[in-house]
Copies of this chain bind each other. A is one copy, B any other.
């Protein structure tokens, strides 16, 4: 069941345990922040010594308050926190922020304290932020429940950050950039509430239009995935996850003590959930600025205006790199600007002697073009182009249709840039950054409409479940039976356990055949347990005798598989288990996977758009489309097979790994030739 965090963010009353009259103390800052932010509810300072704290009547402890307390902020030393939490239980308080540090992040002593806390909290179902947090902020009701020295302006962006230091940097940056926030959450150690809880809350928060997340480690990945996906269906989610490299993970673990998640898989998870992943603070800031200032845009036909050809070319390049085609202007538009530039095209060059009035004309005309959703306005310092005047014009026109600006230069554009910023115009130091930020948001909306989760479910077979629970891996016969029961085609195969059996079944065999061990061994070739292209009975029996002998020697199950040789393209399809669930891999077999690493991975369940992405991400797919042999392989059967492996992996959680290697895809169908299934046993 999801937690109800509404009183955490919108309490009617707040108690501060450790509220202080001494400047410099955290308990001083927090109370001061609440008062200064004009929190709309009751405030109850708790202080064992002072009767009045910062002008407000104080209580000795929580029990003395005798009023309903919705939220308690705790900023006493770590060892005292346990006692305070017990008081919370007695007073039936359901929401707490533990500012205090000194828990899991400090080592084994702190870890023990944190475990004690966890016990109390989970038994009593208390929503706890932290410990070791900067606190939370709700700009709507003046709840500055943090010791951050800045209270942000109201806005539409929520921040969820694992780094308190980054929080203060963001607040400081936002003040300068005039970016406002709805909610601000420093997650701290995430001992209780973590991203997924906040995501659940923010989904339904009407003030929040976009969510920005900084994280280093992850709790409960599957829930994270689910809530992130739900949240991203409603609003853009931007995530900066550090610990991307071994070097970064080392730094992160010495910093938080938490373990990092596999970074590549995290990227796959972002793609699956449609979160926008950024890899730099700059990208984080640029997107925050964009989503804060351009609120409603969902279409991205971009016109560029410039007084400088060179930067115009650079923007066109940059747009192209970020998959941002610049549309042609309508003939009406071309006509309307022909006095400024007789050969108008997009980017529209106003030529170096552009006057402010030319900017005005061009901007208005482009805004009136129904084929244009956004205008990017470039300016370089030129003698005829008064940047202050152009800034005025942009500010006056910005409400008609969004204008994004880059005034490239330094001294002579710094004032106009500040003026633009102060008046709510989106402005970037260089146009490449602006284009990049816009392209990420464009990508979000494109993918938002794509996602379709399959409802397709398959019924687990009881017998199979029993088998899977009884052994660490299946042999090939068992694997094939499992596949066949779920309508997955396997190459025609006869299993035999003796030479005698071969002789009995010889009439069923269509030569040429391949012979191999059916024991479920992974690297058969290395043991001489595969032989292709066997042409007749004599050869078959000779090879079978050899393989039975090797099987005996190696203490393998003495079972061989005789398979028809099917001509086609080899494919690898597999499922492995990790913290995100089941990861499905597709690639062409052999060298393509091993040397070229030409594979695509997605998190199960695999949906139609995942399949499209898998096929387009793998370069070798071109072979299946006929690039090499001019044959067109049956891709639909392969898609069905990839969906099936995803279904199997989800239906039977007992399965740890399944690998179809190879699948042979022909012009008509796809067949599993070999299969390894390992269970959790």
Contacts and interface: CB of A to CB of B under 8 A. Distances in A.
Nearest to A317: B248
A620 interface: yes
Contacts of A82: none
A591 B624 CA distance: 12
Interface string A306-330: 0111111111111111000110000
Contact of A596 (B214, B254, B349, B596): B596
Counting chain B CB atoms within 10 Å of each CB, which of A165, A316, A380, A619 scores highest? A165
A165 B314 contact: no
Given A165-B382, A245-B317, A214 B310 contact: yes
Given A164-B352, A316-B248, A411 B325 contact: no
A432 B280 CA distance: 7
A527 to B, nearest CB: 15
Number of copies: 2
Contact of A251 (B29, B347, B592, B597): B347
A236 to B, nearest CB: 21
B245 A320 contact: yes
Given A255-B309, A320-B247, A598-B596, A169 B409 contact: yes
Contacts of A163: 308-311
Interface stretch (A173-181, A368-376, A488-496, A659-667): A173-181
Contact of A244 (B321, B326, B383, B619): B321
A271 interface: no
Counting chain B CB atoms within 10 Å of each CB, which of A162, A313, A318, A596 scores highest? A313
Interface string A414-443: 100000000000000111110000000000
Interface string A422-466: 000000011111000000000000000000000000000000000
A245 B596 contact: no
A501 interface: no
A634 to B, nearest CB: 19
A349 B164 CA distance: 14
Interface string A269-313: 000000000011110010000000000000000000001111111
A432 B282 contact: yes
B168 A246 contact: no
A243 interface: yes
Contacts of A619: 595-597
Contact of A595 (B147, B248, B622): B622
Nearest to A308: B165
A252 interface: yes
Contacts of A413: 172
Given A280-B314, A594-B627, A174 B309 contact: no
A484 to B, nearest CB: 32
A240 to B, nearest CB: 8
B412 A280 contact: no
B408 A162 contact: no
A541 interface: no
Nearest to A215: B310
B317 A247 contact: yes
Interface string A234-258: 0000001011111110111011100
Contacts of A177: 410
A169 B408 contact: yes
Interface in A135-185: 147, 149-150, 161-166, 168-169, 172-177
Contact of A309 (B244, B256, B431): B256
A381 interface: yes
Nearest to A246: B320
Contacts of A285: 430
A556 interface: no
Given A308-B165, A591-B623, A595-B628, A248 B314 contact: yes
A320 B279 CA distance: 12
Nearest to A310: B163
A121 B166 CA distance: 61
Nearest to A178: B410
Nearest to A408: B169
B325 A247 contact: yes
Lowest 5 CB-CB distances: which A-B pairs, in order?
A: A163-B310, A176-B410, A165-B308, A245-B320, A248-B317
Interface of A: 29, 147, 149-150, 161-166, 168-169, 172-177, 214, 216, 240, 242-248, 250-252, 254-256, 279-282, 285, 307-321, 325-326, 343, 345, 347, 349, 352, 380-383, 408-414, 429-433, 590-592, 594-598, 619-620, 622-623, 627-628
